Amino acid sequence: MLRIGLIGTGGFSKMHARILSGMDDVQVVAVCGTSLAKAEAFALACGIGSSYESLDDMLDGERLDAVYILVPPMSHGEYEMKLIARGIPFFVEKPLGLNTEQPEQIRNEISKQSLITSVGYHFRYTDTVDLMKQLLKERPIGMLTGKWMGSMPQVAWWRDQSKSGGQFLEQSTHLVDIMRYCVGEIDEVYAMYGHQVIHKQYEGVTVPDVGTVTLKFKSGVIANISNTCVLPDGVGKTGITCYTQQGILEWDPDRLTMIEAHETTIRHKKVNPYVVENEAFIYALKTGDTGRILSDYADAFKTQQVTVAALESAKSGLPYRFN
């Protein structure tokens, strides 16, 4: 039986706890939160045996085979380093943090002991993303566009730039990651962000509510990802469009639409990528075979570098070039 501990008591802790508790040979045995009361309430709601108010207490009190780090962007760093120091594998939700300095240090420490890690870029595990990746290998690509157009998540930390890092780093990071996964590495980033509506509508908003980011891949392919959080709830569009010599591939979280000269084919998503990403991590813990993990910490770090570069570019007004 694999014994798992969770850090964080929010919406996504619930999601992972539900998936893990449905697996054979896996038990979520402990949770720690920002207070004992929150951890206890979470443990009670999810049927978890033990609750703690600090990671140190949880690690001293339990034998754990792995830990899930499910906290907002501003709360990363110390948890990862403590787990690395004790040699405990971890799954961590995206994004890796607010900057690149701390994640780079974590990445370097992980590489010294080949620790098993996995990062929650779950779209990589979707069958339609896999198909899009295969098709893009065979087709000369013109360009890509991506969009994450939605409303502002109502959790308090999200609207604060110093806590979430803003929409591109927090949400559109998924699109950057899918593009990297399908097309390769990025070497130039040029971003423009703006504050149009949301800061007038809600108290304490410091995140931009519109943004557009141009990306250049090492292969020469160019892309644009635009995002906004000004829309009302229930009105949103998220996806990637690939313009290729054979036609258009239009991906969204539910389907891949292939538009060619004489026919349009729609492939609906068949798997729950959150389940598949959890199975991949658990399989790696059981067997030592990390082959099913599609996003480990070192790879996710490269996505983090792009989203942080976008922040730098938006600040400076200049393109950001990687060496």
Query: Is the CB of 52 or the CB of 217 nearer to ligand NAD?
Result: 52
Nearest Cα neighbor of 167 from 180, 156, 154, 152 is: 152
Are the beta carbons of 189 and 173 closer than 8 angstroms? no
**Please, what is the minimum distance in Å from the beta carbon of residue 321 to ligand NAD?**
27
Measured at CB, which residue is nearest to ligand NAD? 10
3-state secondary structure at position 175? helix
**Please, what is the minimum distance in Å from the beta carbon of residue 33 to ligand NAD?**
5
**Please, what is the minimum distance in Å from the beta carbon of residue 318 to ligand NAD?**
28
**Please, what is the minimum distance in Å from the beta carbon of residue 136 to ligand NAD?**
23
Instruction: Kindly list the distances between the CA atom of residue 266 and the CA atoms of 49, 161, 191, 276, 319, in Å, as whole numbers in the listed order.
Output: 45, 38, 32, 22, 37
- CA 235 remoteness from chain centre: 22
Distant-in-sequence, close-in-space partners of 12: CB < 8 Å, separation ≥ 6: 70, 93, 120
Query: Is the CB of 120 or the CB of 239 nearer to ligand NAD?
Result: 120
Query: Is the CB of 75 or the CB of 214 nearer to ligand NAD?
Result: 75
**Please, what is the minimum distance in Å from the beta carbon of residue 56 to ligand NAD?**
12
Q: What are 216's two structure tokens?
A: 């250049």
- Angstrom distance (rounded) from CA 275 to CA 105: 29
**Please, what is the minimum distance in Å from the beta carbon of residue 173 to ligand NAD?**
8
Binding site for ligand NAD (CB under 6 A): 7-13, 33-34, 70-73, 75, 93-94, 120, 122, 155, 170
Query: Is the CB of 216 or the CB of 302 nearer to ligand NAD?
Result: 302
Query: Is the CB of 93 or the CB of 209 nearer to ligand NAD?
Result: 93
Nearest Cα neighbor of 181 from 219, 140, 124, 125 is: 124
Query: Is the CB of 118 or the CB of 313 nearer to ligand NAD?
Result: 118
